Amino acid sequence: GNSVTQMEGPVTLSEEAFLTINCTYTATGYPSLFWYVQYPGEGLQLLLKATKADDKGSNKGFEATYRKETTSFHLEKGSVQVSDSAVYFCALRRYNQGGKLIFGQGTELSVKP
């Protein structure tokens, strides 16, 4: 079946450090891939997405590249800020799944000044 696996958190970084959150997936065909972010006390919001192999999604300094050969969609940011502290969710959607998203377990990021 379809599934998404993220690296376990919490991840604690100092401000301006480099961030990588690993995400790998299992799915047949060519799913669309997403990163959602949940700031404290809020719902989820879309951070970035990619719809086919080798696509790079980017937003707010975050990037992720759809790697079909390694079934991965790792999230990266070159220099994190305290305001990036949040929970990050990787997700996939298959074409014939009626819009349903399958989420990873979430990775909590804490950035210290």
Residues in contact with another protein by CB under 8 A are 4, 6, 31-32, 36, 41-46, 49, 51, 89, 93-95, 97-101, 103-106
**Distance of alpha carbon 10 from alpha carbon 47, whole angstroms:** 19
Contact 64, 35 (CB under 8 A): yes
Closest CB to another protein among residues 3, 79: 3
Cβ 107 to another protein shortest distance, Å: 10
Please state the φ and ψ torsions of residue 82, each to the nearest 5 degrees: -55, -35
CA 105 to chain centre: 11
Cβ 77 to another protein shortest distance, Å: 20
Closest CB to another protein among residues 59, 79: 59
Cβ 79 to another protein shortest distance, Å: 26
**Distance of alpha carbon 102 from alpha carbon 15, whole angstroms:** 31
